[in-house]
Amino acid sequence: MTFQGAFTALVTPFKDGAIDQNAYRELIEWQIEQGIDGLVPCGTTGEAATMTHEEQGEAIKICVEQAKGRVPVIAGAGSNNTKEAVYLTVLAKKAGADATLQITPYYNKPTPQGLLEHFKALSKEASMPFFLYNVPGRTGLNAQPETIARIAREVPDVIGVKEATGNLEQCSNLIEQCPEGFIVFSGDDFTVLPLLSIGGHGAISVVSNIAPKLMSEMCAAYRAGNTAKAKEIHYKLQPLNRAMFIETNPIPVKTSLGMMGKLETSFRLPIVPLLPENELELKNILKDNGII
């Protein structure tokens, strides 16, 4: 299974308080038809924080079933509680995920040694390929390149990282220090192309929920050496990238998918609908960029 290119951090459609299985399967199918390289259910964008363990297992299972091995599935299974992360990883493994995405424990703010021990415990109790997820804007903790490099060397199950700092100097230091073959995905849609240019492998993307073809084509163009085309797509995506963050993710992207008729725009508290003035701005941007 190849982990490179554009992976979508999937939203989770809800209806009547539960996962909307039909909308979810249709969204996954559309993503694959549009050429996406991989799928990531139950991440931040998928509102995993407000899902029960049973629902997370269900969402991952649906995604794996619908993907039918056509693209890899990296399942969100992280927690700030190591035992809970082990449990969620076991669920992902049973569901048939190819790897899991493991957020650095939030709120606790573990030391570098604590991070290492967290991943060692995960590997010991639920061995499968893991991607570390470094997103200090969500966790209050910025895992430094030397820490991630140490984890990569000492925990063979950790095969890559989703880097969401948006800091290219940090990303460059990370790639420099990590072992050969360590996979670095951008978790920041604004900097996917610059990250590719310094040795990154692709993106785990929010905007690809609504523009999977564009994100996939940009990554493919860069890999093929067509940097002019990649740059052209990068600038085509930038207005959409900005629109996806006019309020907290996943509010704008899920609202966009609702406007596209892909799902019912439904959130779980404490996530609430987009402010009316932002909804109007979002609709105009989507129209201007041919999304709706």
3-state secondary structure of 39: strand
Say what angle helices 53-67 and 82-95 make with each other, to 10 degrees: 30
Active site annotation includes 162:
yes
The one catalytic residue in 24, 61, 87, 162 is 162
- Omega into 250 within 30° of 0, i.e. cis? yes
Active site annotation includes 133:
yes
Cβ of 113: how many Cβ atoms within 10 Å? 10
Cβ of 270: how many Cβ atoms within 10 Å? 8
Nearest to 99 by CA among 80, 76, 116: 76
The one catalytic residue in 133, 222, 254, 262 is 133
| Residue 273 falls in which region: left (phi positive, over 0), alpha (psi -120 to 50) or beta | beta
3-state secondary structure of 60: helix
Cα dist. 112→24, 147, 151, 165, 258 in Å? 37, 6, 9, 17, 41
Cα dist. 277→176, 273, 281, 282 in Å? 44, 12, 6, 9
Catalytic residue annotation: 133, 162
